[in-house]
Chain A
Amino acid sequence: MTEPSELQLSEAPPGGLTRQGSLWGDAWRELRRKPRFVISAAIILVVLLMAVVPSLFTSVDPNFADLDHSRALPSGDAWFGYDLQGRNLFARTVYGTRASLIVGVTSALLTVLIGSVIGIVAGYYGKWLDSLLSRFGDIFAGMPFVLGAIVILTTLNAPTSNPSQTRIIVQVVLSIAVLSWPVAMRIMRSATLVAKQLDYVKAARGLGASPFRIIFRHLLPNTLAPVMVYATIAVGAFIGAEATLAFLGIGLRPPVVSWGVMISDSSNYVRTVPHMLLFPAAFVTITVLAFVMLGDAVRDALDPKSR
């Protein structure tokens, strides 16, 4: 009569349940056992290391050009070969990691941060605040990305000016975030609309939780998953967006080295010097893949039901 499953469960040995569980603690223990997480985290760590101390990987100056080597194929000396100007492509790829990663990760973070906060507030409070915030988001979402970025970046930098490295990176990151946050906001808003209908939000209110606590303590963990997936995809997309802007000559520009700058360098020589495109593009792909896998693993780990 007293549910048999209950008895069996309570008699089962408490294997591995030695510590008390918090959402993040449980997620972390879960993650460490997943090959998907371990592999993607390892790739990301290597890429991060490349970004922080590129000199560990190569001693060649990425901007040193020797026209004797122009368009030379990969060899033992230069694993990735040389580009049109005779610059070592391996060194350039390694040194390009920093700018690409900074742009991809910070603009994804900023996008998700702005979008999530506005989205969850709009979704939870609804009514006029929702309309106001949603229409405000529509203004930015309605702008075509490339056109918007051109307008922003050419307004900030006169075509002939030569902005400093930091300045141009900050500008690119900000213009990507400003034009992309409505996507994160819509995802967060709709996840919130679904979650706030559920009884546990009402129950939390019924037991005296404040709106702030309900939103950030109870709703957020439940609505994070879809935004997290978007964020990992966005890192890749934004590394690509950086390349687009670099190609148009309004984003990062030489002497800054980034994967995007390298891809735009190669654009006219894809058929004659394919390795100029191949290596930076491969790095973009692998890094993006690692971020997507990481996001996937984290999302699964944050869902207690998948354990």
Chain B
Amino acid sequence: MSESVYDGATGTFVSPQAREAAEAEPLLEIADLRVEFRTRDGVANVLNGVSYRVSVGETLAVLGESGSGKSVTAQAVMGILDTPPAFVTGGEVRFHGENLLAADADRRMAVRGDGIAMIFQDALSALNPVFTVGFQIEEQLRVRRGMTRADARKRAVELLDLVRIPGAARRIREYPHQFSGGMRQRAMIAMSLALDPEVLIADEPTTALDVTVQAQIMDLLAEIQRERDMGLILITHDLGVVADVADRIAVMYAGRIVEEADVYSLFRSPGHPYTAALLESLPRLDLKGQELRTIKGLPPSLTDIPPGCPFHPRCAMAADVCATTVPEFRHLGDGRASACHFAGEMQSRG
């Protein structure tokens, strides 16, 4: 069953399509987003100018280590960062061209769920333990759509059917803890789809699940995304999980996007040494028995990001310029971009 994921059951990705999507009017566009966390230990620069965009029917994977700022970006987009300690200090989040960061609280609330919805990593803690799964889906429909109890229940059963929960009509009366991990994540997906959002942000939707269930959930997300022509942002630290379903990948490091490319080009010829190192550190069957290559050192502390390129202390290609000048995020043509002084060389080498 796990093969179905990797044999390309979802492999509708064709690179001209992705390019077309990228050129279309973006559904959601994040421009130069800056967020800092003001803590007792000082100011942590968690996001230092993050930009990405998602168009209708496109899947963007945001890849990065823990602490790289990928979840913070998502929460800043949703407007659910806890302030304090988090403060958005700059940038724009444009949804259909409207800057949400400048919108008032009511407008933002109206966009949440309806325009942009979010799936959380751990569905057990993201579902309220004292309410049945059904109640939590119906609540949105009743409050936001003014549906009657009976109509909302019917719709909620449909939604649970859609995410393939067996016996939906009965299980809708159960509590989150009565669901298994995979079923809970499905219920969470159903909940986020209740108001037909145009953009779905999935924050590590499969991290808490075991591998076979991971594959099922990714398939499900990809399928729903295709059917509804949603924009999907998949946040993950696992390249393998998104390789099949993503159209484009944005790689984050220390609160910046360091590389953005379509999936095929990224795997074939990474444009940033960090991406290259990530790819090399994937366990490979043909190198069995050899030592696993890792990236030396640790990600920088966000209160003390090194000058120049934040990756230079760990970078095999680092030169003098890397320690002094922050590399620009340059377009390399073909819809690709990289924030490395030697991006061109990396390309020609790859």
Residue of A6, A198, A206 with highest tally of chain B CB at under 10 A: A206
Q: Are B112 and A206 in contact (CB under 8 A)?
A: yes
**Chain A residues, CB < 8 A from B170:** 10, 14, 17
Q: Which residue of B lies closest to A198 (CB)?
A: B125
Q: Which residue of A lies closest to B132 (CB)?
A: A21
Given A200-B125, A213-B143, A222-B130, A205 and B120 touching (CB < 8 A)?
Answer: no
Verify if B129 is at the interface (C-beta below 8 Å from A): yes
Q: Are A207 and B128 in contact (CB under 8 A)?
A: no
**Chain B residues, CB < 8 A from A208:** 109-114, 140, 144, 195
Q: Are A202 and B180 in contact (CB under 8 A)?
A: no
Q: Are A3 and B125 in contact (CB under 8 A)?
A: no
Residue of A21, A207, A221 with highest tally of chain B CB at under 10 A: A207
In-complex Cβ contact of A207 among B113, B122, B183 (8 A): B113
The distance in angstroms between the C-alpha atoms of A199 and B182, with both chains bound, is 17
Verify if A7 is at the interface (C-beta below 8 Å from B): yes
The distance in angstroms between the C-alpha atoms of A203 and B143, with both chains bound, is 16
The distance in angstroms between the C-alpha atoms of A198 and B153, with both chains bound, is 26
Verify if B80 is at the interface (C-beta below 8 Å from A): yes
Given A5-B180, A205-B80, A206-B78, A302 and B130 touching (CB < 8 A)?
Answer: yes
The distance in angstroms between the C-alpha atoms of A200 and B180, with both chains bound, is 17
Q: Are A6 and B183 in contact (CB under 8 A)?
A: yes
* Least Cβ–Cβ distance between B316 and chain A, in angstroms: 38
Interface string of A285-307 (1 = CB under 8 A from B): 00000000000000000111100
**Chain B residues, CB < 8 A from A210:** 109
Q: Are B117 and A206 in contact (CB under 8 A)?
A: yes
Given A3-B183, A205-B112, A304 and B167 touching (CB < 8 A)?
Answer: no
**Chain A residues, CB < 8 A from B1:** 1-2
**Chain B residues, CB < 8 A from A213:** 143
**Chain A residues, CB < 8 A from B111:** 208
Q: Which residue of B lies closest to A225 (CB)?
A: B130
Verify if A20 is at the interface (C-beta below 8 Å from B): yes
Given A10-B166, A208-B109, A203 and B182 touching (CB < 8 A)?
Answer: no
The distance in angstroms between the C-alpha atoms of A10 and B161, with both chains bound, is 13
Q: Are B122 and A199 in contact (CB under 8 A)?
A: yes
Q: Are B80 and A206 in contact (CB under 8 A)?
A: yes
* Least Cβ–Cβ distance between A62 and chain B, in angstroms: 45
Q: Are A6 and B180 in contact (CB under 8 A)?
A: yes
Verify if A23 is at the interface (C-beta below 8 Å from B): yes
Q: Are A304 and B140 in contact (CB under 8 A)?
A: no
The distance in angstroms between the C-alpha atoms of A130 and B109, with both chains bound, is 24
**Chain A residues, CB < 8 A from B100:** none
Q: Which residue of B lies closest to A217 (CB)?
A: B139
Q: Which residue of B lies closest to A26 (CB)?
A: B132
* Least Cβ–Cβ distance between A291 and chain B, in angstroms: 23
* Least Cβ–Cβ distance between A228 and chain B, in angstroms: 13
Interface string of A22-42 (1 = CB under 8 A from B): 110000000000000000000
* Least Cβ–Cβ distance between A289 and chain B, in angstroms: 27
* Least Cβ–Cβ distance between A157 and chain B, in angstroms: 45
Q: Are B117 and A23 in contact (CB under 8 A)?
A: no
A/B interface sample: 7 pairs, CB < 8 A: A5-B180, A10-B170, A205-B78, A206-B78, A206-B112, A304-B129, A304-B175
Q: Which 4 A-B pairs have the closest CB atoms?
A: A208-B113, A208-B112, A10-B167, A199-B126
Given contacts A20-B173, A206-B118, A221-B128, 17 further A-B contacts (CB under 8 A): A3-B213, A6-B180, A6-B183, A21-B173, A22-B132, A199-B122, A202-B75, A202-B80, A204-B128, A206-B117, A206-B120, A207-B194, A208-B109, A208-B111, A208-B113, A221-B131, A302-B130
